[in-house]
Amino acid sequence: MGAELASALDEVLIGRPDILIVLGGDGTIRTAAERCDPGGPLLMPPHGGTMNVLPQALYGVRTWCHALDAVVARPRVRTVSGAEAAGQKFFAAAIFGGPSLLQEAREAVRYGEFLVAARNGLSALRTSLDRELICLWDGGAAAKGEAVAVLCPLASPRLGPGEARLEAAVIHPDGPVDALRMVLSAAFRDWRADPDVKCAMAETIEVLGNGPVPGLLDGGRFSFEGSVKVRLVPRAFLAMTPEG
C-alpha cells in the first residue's frame, strides 16, 4: 500500500496540480503532505480515516462532502507548520515509546470494544516498562517517562496556528492499572489533564531511549535507533480550508 500510494502521488504531481485532494487516514495524508510545500500544490485532506487528526484540525467535524462544499463556498489558504523526527515529517501528532499502542486501545474504547482496549493497553504497557525514555526540551529541561507525545501547532489547542513551537508531553503511568485508566480517560476527555502527564512547549525536542524507540507519526509506525530529534518545520505546506 505504501509503495502504491507513493507511486500514485508521484504520478499525480507530475502534472503540477494547483490543488491536491486526498481522502484517507492520517498515514495517507502524511504521505501526501510530505510532497507538498509552500510553493504548492495546495493540500485538501477531508475526513476519510479513523482518527482524522489533521482533517479535524482543518475542517472540524465536517464530513468530506460537507468540507468540500464549505471550501467551495468560502475558500481560504491556510499555512500549516509541522515537525520532523529523524528525517520523517508529521503534521499533527507523534507518540514515541511502547504506549504508542494506546492509540489502538483508544479507538477500541470509542467503538465499545472494552476487552480489546484493555488487552492493547496492557500489552503496550508491558512493552514500555522496559523502555524508559528521557525527553529533553530545547536542549535543557528533562523528564522521564514511558512515552513522549508531540503535537504540532495545528493539532494542539494550546498553541496558536502561527506559533513557532511544539507541544510535548511525557507520559509516566505507575503500573498496569494506571495505564488502563489512561486508556479509558484518553477516550473520553483530554489526556493532558491526567496527573501522570507532564507537558511543555518547545522548538526542539529530543527523545532518548535505551535501544530502538517505536514511534507513531500521523498514523504511520516507525522505529528509531536510540535517539530521536524532533524539530519544528515552519510553513510545511498550504492547505485549502473554509473561511472562518
Angle at 171 between CA 169 and CA 175, to 5 degrees: 170
pTM confidence score: 0.76
Q: How confident is the model at residue 185 (pLDDT cuts 50, 70, 90)?
A: very low
pLDDT at 115: 47
Whole-angstrom Cα distance, residue 8 to residue 12? 6
Is pLDDT at 129 greater than 70 in this prediction? no
Q: What is the mean pLDDT of residues 31-48?
A: 90
Helix segments in 77-200, DSSP class H: 102-110, 114-129, 176-188
Structural domain 88-233, CATH architecture: Sandwich (2.60)
Whole-angstrom Cα distance, residue 148 to residue 153? 16
Q: Under 8 Å CB-to-CB from 3, ≥6 apart: which residues? A: none
Average pLDDT, the chain: 78
Q: Under 8 Å CB-to-CB from 238, ≥6 apart: which residues? A: 36, 38, 40, 42, 43, 77, 78, 79, 80
Residue spans per domain, the chain: 2-82+238-242, 88-233
Q: What is the pLDDT of residues 49-103, one digit of tens each?
A: 766 778 888 888 888 899 999 999 999 999 999 999 998 999 988 888 865 555 5
Angle at 232 between CA 38 and CA 143, to 5 degrees: 165
Instruction: Name the residue among 20, 50, 52, 22 with its Cα closest to residue 37.
Output: 20
Q: What is the pLDDT of residues 24-39, one digit of tens each?
A: 887 888 889 988 988 8
Q: What single-letter amino acid sits at 52? A: N
Q: Phi/psi class of residue 143: alpha, beta or left (left: φ > 0; alpha: ψ in -120 to 50)?
A: beta
